[in-house]
Amino acid sequence: MIKLSIPEKLALNKFEVNEGNPHIIIDNTKCQSCQPKSCLTVCPAELYSEQNGEIIVEWAGCLECGTCRAVCPQGAISWEYPAGGFGIIYRQG
- 7 forms part of the interface with other proteins (CB under 8 A): no
Dihedral angle sign, alpha carbons of residues 47, 39, 74, 86: positive
Q: How far is the CB of 45 from other proteins (least distance, A)?
A: 7
Q: What is the chain's Cα-based Rg? A: 14
- 42 forms part of the interface with other proteins (CB under 8 A): yes
Q: How far is the CB of 20 from other proteins (least distance, A)?
A: 17
Where does 1-93 show beta strands of DSSP type E? 14-16, 24-26, 48-51, 54-57, 77-79, 87-89
Point out which span in 25-33, 50-58, 61-69 binds other proteins (CB under 8 A). Answer: 61-69
- 87 forms part of the interface with other proteins (CB under 8 A): yes
Binders of other proteins in range 18-37 (CB under 8 A): 36
Q: Please state, in angstroms and rounded to a whole number, the distance separating the CA atoms of residues 44 and 56.
A: 15
